Amino acid sequence: MEEFLRSNYTILSLSIEGLAAVIALFCFKKYRYTTAKFFLFFLIYVFICELLSRYTYQIFEGPLYFLEDTVFEKNSWWSTLYWNIGSVLFFSFFYHSLVEKDKFKKLIRWMCIGFLVLAAFIISTNFKRYFHTMFPSLLITGGLVVLTCVCLYFYELLQSDKILNFYKSIYFYISTTIFVWWLITTPLIFYNVYFTTADWNFIILKWQIFLFANMFMYLTFSFALLWCKPETH
């Protein structure tokens, strides 16, 4: 199992992300007049960014050999930019478009602005680390912003007649899946110090958790896109 993950982790991850992106393209016409269309763009965006993040495999004895021993040798900076910051901004925008109460929209706006200010401060004061490692404080704060947005959506759902048909809503599946995924993966941030080749047991465990969490997330997204009907929201 360990050897299988070492050899195939990347292709497994990209395969399930690619599947979700293809289904998003397939379902675009279905959701093009709803808020869900932004989520389809997001799935495609994540897949493209994941493909680009694999450039590090081309550095050693590959076409990007000239990046060896530079700040771009690792892809931490790219992952921080497109996922740790980009995904939080997207979900802030997505739920700002989704919720209806003005006070919730205002709260999401302020959380998004606060997160951007924090991200700019952390990166600017630790610019050298930006190219070599992730920032746990940024990951945790971003996770809290997304989870708060999801909770605001759930609160509105519980207060409306939409709760009667929640199982038919694409937004319910997106929100539930994101909520569970962030709850599963966020605790791993506290153990990143062990993510080195000196401790392959932890590396394999982390890969397993992320792989199964990603499979759950992207397969649920794929199912929901195909099964749910467009909503007027």
Domain that holds residue 208: 6-227
* Within-domain flag for 196: yes
Tell me whether residue 92 is in a domain.
yes
Is 25 among the domain residues?
yes
The closest of 147, 103, 100, 139 to 122, measured between CA atoms, is 139
Judge contact between 181 and 216, C-beta under 8 A.
Answer: yes
Q: Tell me, yes or no, whether 194 lies in a domain.
A: yes
223: amino acid identity, one letter: F
- Total domains present in the chain: 1
Coarse DSSP helix, strand, coil percentages of the chain, rounded to the nearest 5 percent:
80, 0, 20
Does 204 fall in a domain? Answer: yes
Q: Is residue 232 part of a domain?
A: no
Other CB atoms within 10 A of residue 170 CB: 23
The closest alpha carbon to 206, from 227, 192, 218, belongs to 192
Closest CA to 87 of 141, 142, 38: 142
pLDDT tens for each residue of the chain, 233 residues long: 566 666 677 788 889 999 999 999 999 999 999 999 999 999 999 999 988 887 665 555 566 555 566 666 677 888 899 999 999 999 999 999 999 999 999 999 999 999 999 999 999 998 888 888 888 889 999 999 999 999 999 999 999 888 888 888 999 999 999 999 998 888 877 666 555 555 667 777 777 888 889 999 999 999 999 999 887 65
Domain assignment present for 1? no
* Any domain includes 142: yes
